[in-house]
Amino acid sequence: MRTNLKITVVKTFTPEDVFGPNHGITRNGQPFIPCDHKEGEEFIVNNQYEKPEGFCERAWQDLYSTIMVYYHGGDYRFPSPGATYQPCGDGVNPVVFKIEKLED
């Protein structure tokens, strides 16, 4: 049986959400550019080694261990069998994802 996964962007946060309106965070002296992901955006993973087109590289690295658990027959079973939630590790602009196992 082949395993495909669906990754859904559940919640995005800005530096203002995390640190307040006067956060003063910049990247190389430039205003902080938020993550490109939008709430409700969906990605299908049909190959455990290939990041979906348009998916954030940082988030892919952070979610990869969870993806591998599903591809190797494991399951987190929360909030239900075949589904779990995981954030990316960007402490300034975090994003929460839902990862769901899809069976062919």
50-96 residue pLDDT tens? 999 999 988 999 999 999 999 888 998 888 999 999 999 888 888 99
pLDDT tens readout for residues 9-54: 999 988 888 888 777 777 777 766 667 899 999 999 998 889 999 9
Instruction: Say which residue the tokens 């348009």 belong to.
Output: 54
Residue 97, pLDDT > 90, answer yes
Closest to 46 (Cα-Cα) out of 98, 87, 6: 6
Q: Mean pLDDT of all residues in the chain?
A: 87
d(CA 63, CA 35): 16
Residue 43 token pair: 């990605």
Task: Yes or no: say if 92 and 15 are a contact pair by the CB < 8 Å rule.
Answer: yes
Element (H, E) at 67: helix 57-71
At 88, give phi and psi (nearest 5°): -80, 165
Q: Are 42 and 52 in contact (CB under 8 A)?
A: no
pTM value?
A: 0.85
